[in-house]
Amino acid sequence: DAKTTQPNSMESNEEEPVHLPCNHSTISGTDYIHWYRQLPSQGPEYVIHGLTSNVNNRMASLAIAEDRKSSTLILHRATLRDAAVYYCILRPHGSSNTGKLIFGQGTTLQVKP
């Protein structure tokens, strides 16, 4: 299973952009990059995912390096509600392991008012 590396924790000020990095040097050509977050006392929540191109949705943007060995989740204006643990996960496409998400320790994001 391909692994990801994230910083244990990050801090941000409210209403400022946040860039959460993720390294995945052993990514294979068919692995999708998924991001989930888990707010306190809740189940994980899907944020965004992509394969090769940068992606935007209402929650965040995902910037993927050209060699796909790293990616960055961008929260354009952090709010207090964005304080959570953010997980970067590789999900294989068309593999027997595709239903199996491997969660690392994630990045705990603290947002200061």
CB of 42 to another protein, least distance (A): 7
**Identity of the amino acid at 27:** I
Contact yes or no for 16/80 (Cβ under 8 A): no
> What is the total count of residues that contact another protein (CB under 8 A)?
28
Among 34, 71, 78, 82, binds another protein (CB under 8 A): 34
CB within 8 Å of 43: residues ≥ 6 apart? none
The CA distances from residue 37 to 53, 55, 83, 96, 107, in Å, are: 21, 17, 9, 24, 9
Our finding on whether 31 is near another protein (CB under 8 A) is yes
Our finding on whether 108 is near another protein (CB under 8 A) is no
CB of 97 to another protein, least distance (A): 6
CB of 90 to another protein, least distance (A): 8
Among 5, 103, 110, 112, binds another protein (CB under 8 A): 103
Our finding on whether 82 is near another protein (CB under 8 A) is no
Backbone angles phi, psi at 80, to 5 degrees: -60, -30
Helix (H) or strand (E) holding 109: strand 107-112
Our finding on whether 3 is near another protein (CB under 8 A) is no
